Amino acid sequence: MFRVYFLGFLLLSLLIGCASGPSFKNDSVPAPSKKGGGYYLDDGPGDHPPENIDEIPNATPKVEPFHGRANQPYIALDNKYVPMTSFYPYKERGVASWYGKRYHGKKTSIGEVYDMYSMTGAHTTLPIPCYVRVTNTENNKSVIVRINDRGPFKKDRVIDLSFAAAYKLRLSDKGSGPVEVELIDPRQFSALKKTPDVLNEKIQEKDVATAQVKLAEETISTEPLYIQAGAFKNEKNADLLLKQLLDMKIENTPPFKKQFSEDLFHVVIGPFNSKDEANNIADLIKSKIKISIFVVTKEKN
């Protein structure tokens, strides 16, 4: 796991710590091991874990201001990353890893103290702080975590989880595993009716997932399609991303534009005639720049 501190806009980044996801040599059931060995860089679950980690509650999505410095574009391991600065439907599948006692008590990218027994995670481009639902695609176990750190920076990794989150997904004994990560819009979450008991809490979580699907479906229509490449409070950041996109010289691509709306500078591409065409260009861009981009149905005005 890496810590990223931003010292200037795209000029340099300072990486503190180094882990690529602990690899276990323990083939037992997914209970936290109290023995050393078998962990990358002597990382692991700690010597005195809580009695029942499965009872640690999910993170509760709420509206929070985005951290200014930690959402600036940055460079890590020679790769450029452009974090999201607003909410758009996001869902991605990949490999999750986790980090434990080696970073327990140390600061995350936004200056908070990392607690390996809280429900948190790290992502390269999602806005921080934010909340995501992470589902183990092998056993369908699901948790909600709060993203408050940057990483992981290995190509095959989509998210780094706290030990508690990895344990509840039954990934802690493997070190990593396949997951689906979905961004939760806290405005949608808080609008749902809150209920007190455990049964109703499970129903509420299902309603949240339904609300997220509905939010994504609302972006699908017969209107012209656009790629939302980035949204920034700082116009210079939008100009830099626009220049990067133009420098790619992608053939047969609709215009690249910078537009201002909702107090943000948006970089958009379009219009496209079909969703497949837009997705193909989006995938090509993401293969060259580590960036979270989305296909939307309305051009920003």
Res 218: pLDDT: 45
In tens, the pLDDT along 169-192 reads 999 888 889 999 999 988 877 654
Distances (CA, A) of 11 to 75, 76, 149, 246: 8, 11, 20, 20
Q: Are residues 83 and 112 in the same domain?
A: yes
Residue 196 domain flag: yes
Res 147: pLDDT: 95
Q: Are residues 155 and 255 in the same domain?
A: no
Cα 144–chain centre separation: 12
Residue stretches of the chain with pLDDT short of 50? 1-41, 192-204, 208-209, 212-221
Q: Are residues 252 and 151 in the same domain?
A: no
Q: Are residues 119 and 162 in the same domain?
A: yes
Res 23: pLDDT: 28
In tens, the pLDDT along 256-270 reads 888 887 777 888 898
Res 44: pLDDT: 53
- If you compute the radius of gyration of the chain from its CA atoms, what whole number of angstroms results? 20
Res 150: pLDDT: 93
Residue 301 domain flag: no
Res 175: pLDDT: 82
Question: 168-181: buried (b, 16+ CB within 10 Å) or exposed (e) per residue?
Answer: bbbbbbbbbbebbb
275: which DSSP letter? Answer: H
Q: What's the CA gap between 29 and 61, in Å, rounded?
A: 31
Give the domain CATH number at 268.
Answer: 3.30.70.1070
Q: Are residues 122 and 205 in the same domain?
A: no
Res 26: pLDDT: 27
Q: What's the CA gap between 107 and 25, in Å, rounded?
A: 28
Give the domain CATH number at 160.
Answer: 2.40.40.10
Q: Are residues 192 and 284 in the same domain?
A: no
Phi, psi of 24 (to 5 degrees): -85, 150
How many domains, in total, are found in the chain?
3
Q: Are residues 161 and 236 in the same domain?
A: no
Q: Are residues 16 and 76 in the same domain?
A: yes
Residue ending a domain, choose from 201, 217, 233: 217
Residue 279 domain flag: yes
Q: What's the CA gap between 231 and 139, in Å, rounded?
A: 35
Res 42: pLDDT: 53
Res 270: pLDDT: 87
Q: Are residues 158 and 292 in the same domain?
A: no
Q: 113: domain range?
A: 3-29+38-186
Q: Are residues 64 and 167 in the same domain?
A: yes
Q: What's the CA gap between 149 and 285, in Å, rounded?
A: 24
Q: Are residues 174 and 65 in the same domain?
A: yes
Coil, strand, or helix at residue 34? coil
Q: Are residues 7 and 99 in the same domain?
A: yes
The whole-model pTM stands at 0.56
Q: DSSP states of 92-152 as a string?
A: EEEEEEEE-TTTTTSB-TTSPBP-TTSSEEE-SSS-SSEEEEEEETTT--EEEEEEEE---
